[in-house]
């Protein structure tokens, strides 16, 4: 069973310091995501880590409300997020997606902008199954992010959105 407090504490250390060479991930191990950015890959990694540090700071006590998250998360991140949908709008989106092909759904997922509330939902301690492990810059525009996961398969959409909102153009799981 996932010890969330330990996972957050370990992740917090990995967000600020290099992962020791002999470190072993918990859970199912790590999954890598290959990313490309038109901008500086180092900046994308810094942005993503900064947001996760804020999430971790607020994961140790009472989880903030959606309104509180809009005051906690950085303005640049919120500016990248899509609008909050009403229940009716969300239902209409779900209904329209039912008629899409697998390829069309994949493309929609690749370009969709998550709302802040949708994103923070998947970072809530009761939902979260992945934790930052490490990142490596490959080139000025290419980088790899590894996450520790506690289930397989695991919901990675919130991670992909974090990286895209931080400046990545593409985020693909390495298989």
92-133 per-position pLDDT tens digit: 777 877 888 888 877 777 778 999 999 999 999 999 999 999
What is the chain's mean pLDDT, rounded? 92
Report helix, strand or coil for 156: coil
66-87 per-position pLDDT tens digit: 999 999 999 999 999 999 877 7
Q: How many CA atoms lie within 13 A of 2 on its CB side?
A: 20
Q: What is the distance between the alpha carbons of residues 86 and 108, in angstroms, rounded to a whole number? A: 19
Q: Tokens 């997922």 identify what position?
A: 109
The whole model's pTM is what?
0.91
Residue 32 burial by Cβ neighbours in a 10 Å radius (0-12, 13-18, 19+): middle
């Amino acid at each position: 069973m996932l010890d969330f407090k330990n996972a957050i504490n370990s992740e917090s250390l990995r967000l600020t310091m290099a992962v020791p060479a002999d470190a072993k991930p918990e859970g199912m191990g790590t999954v890598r995501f290959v990313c490309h950015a038109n901008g500086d890959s180092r900046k994308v990694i810094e942005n993503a880590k900064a947001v996760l540090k804020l999430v971790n700071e607020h994961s140790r006590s009472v989880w903030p409300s959606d309104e509180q998250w809009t005051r906690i998360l950085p303005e640049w991140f919120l500016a990248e997020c899509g609008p909050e949908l009403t229940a009716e709008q969300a239902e209409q989106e779900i209904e329209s997606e039912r008629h899409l092909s697998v390829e069309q759904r994949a493309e929609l997922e690749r370009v969709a902008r998550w709302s802040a509330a949708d994103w923070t939902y998947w970072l809530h301690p009761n939902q979260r199954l992945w934790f930052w492990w490490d990142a490596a810059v490959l080139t000025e525009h290419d980088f790899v992010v590894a996450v520790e996961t506690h289930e397989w398969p695991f919901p990675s959409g919130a991670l992909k959105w974090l990286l895209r909102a931080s400046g990545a153009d593409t985020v693909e799981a390495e298989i």
